[in-house]
Amino acid sequence: MSRFIRWAIVLWCCLPAVCSYGGGFMVREHSQAALGSAFAGVHAGAHDLADMFFNPAALYYQPERAALAGMASMLPKAKFRLSSATTFNGTVVTGNPGGENIGEDALIPSLYLAQPSWKGWRLGLSVNAPWGLATKCDPNWVGRYYAIESRLTSMNVMPTVARRLSPRWVAGIGFQMQKLDAKLSNAVDYGTIAQANGVPGAAPTQQDGLVELTGEDWGYGLVLGFMYEASARTRFGFSYRSKVDQNLKGTAEFSPDAFGVKNGLSALSGAFVTTGAQAAVTTPEVVGFGVKHEMTASMTLVFDAVWNRWSRYKGLTVHFDNPAQAASRVQEDWRDVWLTSIGLLYKVAPKWTLRAGYAVDRSPIPNEHRIPRIPGSDGRFTSVGARYQASERCHIDVGYMSISYDGAPITLKSTDPDSTFRGNLSGRFSNSFRILGAQIAWNW
């Protein structure tokens, strides 16, 4: 198992992460079999070994010695259409008005392992990336004071155990060890700051610098899961994933403008110099419910409903070691939301199974608090997939998903708390997503 973990860490050092624009910065693409059914049935263990990430009790229904490796190719599109952009005192923010895709393509790996039983317990391990974000804007675009580059990568290592409690009940538990790495950057309007402080020669929006924040941390949590076998053909699954509190620690680097305004402000106030920084991030609780019902010998109906407690996320507050640098806050006030999905698995031949699914994913982001770093809105998933049973011990899965999103208006105001020098920005993002995944599983 130690070799398995080393392989996983090497993969994460090489690959970026990306988020779905509907579900905050949550990444769900941990099973390429489930991708084909729009993730319906994962909490009822309807697919394969990867389902144990969603519900640890699903491990019990898999072979004792098994491994699975998958990869999802994420192809996002997010384009901004400008309405207006001004500073707090009415100066028009010039620059690129948007129109380019700020989403970044990415590959997301997932790895799973099942070990032999120990005193009635099934043993397993999952390694994947449940949280992620990757957007990158033109450094000279009109919303540069709110965001340029935003990147969050994660690695979650989860040892898992499962066992049967009674003829109808199975239970499982997973221990999460989660690492987050973040990199955020945006422009700083030194010209407007200098003008507000009476500095001669200040030119708003024309004397920009850059601030880049980096940070990382490990956090820990639990996942509890249960399966109830109502009959030989119907199974229900329930799971609870705990929150994980993390305090990302790193640095804040302030780059100067070409006119020396930043250096003057630093000399006067002591602010805008490179310093240590930290920000608290809590990944939310997730409660899942799933159903697997075999309608016929060849046709299975699957369903999932997942509640995400995004109300824990109020926004990002960065505290600086430099006492002269005021904390940076972005108010977002996300809300709790549901994802619901339904799918169909159809075994068309002894070696072939087809899948299809549809899901509705509610966005946690209120219109008045949407920011360019995460321009999410409500989404609808449509997916198809297939499994080829290459042998008794090996199967291959592929899946494809298309996601369409509602329009995502941006209405940010300089009168909002801590946004005075970020200015006013209004417009609309149009988003879409395509995901293609493949995986191979084998047992011995």
Q: Which of 332, 324, 416, 419 is nearest to 370 (CA)?
A: 332
Say what the pLDDT of residue 95 is: 94
Residue 15: its pLDDT value, please? 46
Query: Is residue 24 scored above 60 in pLDDT?
Result: yes
On the question of pLDDT at 13 being above 60, the answer is no
Report the pLDDT averaged over residues 23-50: 94
User: Residue 102 and residue 291: Cα distance in Å, rounded?
Assistant: 37
Cα 74 to chain centroid, rounded: 12
Amino acid 119: pLDDT: 84
Phi, psi of 341 (to 5 degrees): -145, 150
pLDDT tens digits for 375-403? 999 999 999 999 999 999 999 999 999 99
- Give the pLDDT of residue 331: 85
pLDDT of residue 16: 47
The residue written with tokens 């600086």 in the block is: 320
Range of the domain at 353: 2-443
pLDDT in tens, 318-335: 999 999 999 999 888 999
Phi-psi region of 440 (alpha: psi -120 to 50; beta: other; left: phi over 0): beta
Token pair listed for 419 = 């946004």
- Summarised one tens digit per residue, pLDDT across range 193-230 is 999 998 888 999 999 999 999 999 999 999 999 999 99
Local confidence band at 14 (pLDDT 50, 70, 90 cut-offs): very low
Model confidence over 128-163: pLDDT tens digits?
Answer: 999 998 999 999 999 999 999 999 999 999 999 999
Q: Per-residue confidence at 417, pLDDT binned at 50, 70, 90? A: confident
What does the DSSP assignment read for 115-166? Answer: EEEETTEEEEEEEE--B-EEEE--TTBTTTTT-SEEEEEEEEEEEEEEEE-S
For residues 237 and 302, give the distance between their C-alpha atoms in angstroms, rounded to a whole number.
11
pLDDT at position 184: 96
Quote the pLDDT of residue 149: 96
* Local confidence band at 430 (pLDDT 50, 70, 90 cut-offs): very high
With cut-offs at 50, 70 and 90, classify the pLDDT of residue 69: very high
Identify the three-state secondary structure at position 29.
coil
Q: Residue 320 has which token pair?
A: 């600086």
DSSP bridge partners of 124: 114, 160
pLDDT at residue 12 in the model:
45
Residue 120 confidence class, pLDDT cut points 50, 70, 90? confident
Is the CB of residue 262 less than 8 Å from the CB of residue 193? Answer: no
Helices (H), 228-283: 261-269
Q: What pLDDT digit, counting tens, does each position of 223-249 carry? A: 999 999 999 999 999 999 999 999 999
Say which CATH number the domain at 109 has: 2.40.160.60
pLDDT at 315: 86
- 235 - beta bridge partners? 229, 292
Contact 226, 34 (CB under 8 A): no
CA distance 71 to 87: 44
Separation CA 306–CA 386 (nearest Å): 24
pTM of the complete model: 0.91
Total of domains in the chain: 1
Poorest-confidence range of 78-87, 97-106, 142-151? 97-106
Amino acid at residue number 84? S
Average pLDDT, the chain: 93
* Percent share of the chain, pLDDT over 70: 95
**Whole-number pLDDT of residue 18:** 53
